Amino acid sequence: MGKPGYFSGIRRFLKTALLADLGIFIAAGLICWFGGWLTVHLYGHSLMWAGLAAILLGLLSVPGSYETWSFAYQYALSARAKNIDDYTRQRSKDASQSQAFFLRMVVIGVVPTILGTLLQTVSM
């Protein structure tokens, strides 16, 4: 089995984003249904907030990755027996993963935010 191609990675990312957005749409709909908010305007409002919450969740993953690059942290790691190059590679990998998660959550959160804003505008 070979390495997955560039387009299969994009296709997998879009499939994941689509499923996450579908989950956000269903969750917002259920919250509106059980909360008694049965207008399109209120559904758009809940979609907008759910999308912004997804973006915020992604944003919260980024600062922790930058804290690990402080000098004091690197010095403490270098006092151990492991090679500092291994720690640097690991921290770089962790930082890129948290930034990728942030970008993924931005893509996932933008769709319900825009659709919710449009629904609010149209229903006024």
Q: List the pLDDT tens digit at each of the 124 positions of the chain.
A: 456 677 888 888 899 999 999 999 999 999 999 999 989 999 999 999 999 999 998 888 777 655 555 555 555 555 555 677 777 777 777 777 888 889 999 999 999 999 999 999 998 7
At position 30, the amino acid (one-letter code) is L
- The domain spans of the chain are 6-122
Q: Report the C-alpha gap between 50 and 42 in whole angstroms.
A: 12
CA distances from 18 to 34, 110, 112, 122 (A): 24, 12, 11, 24
pTM: 0.74
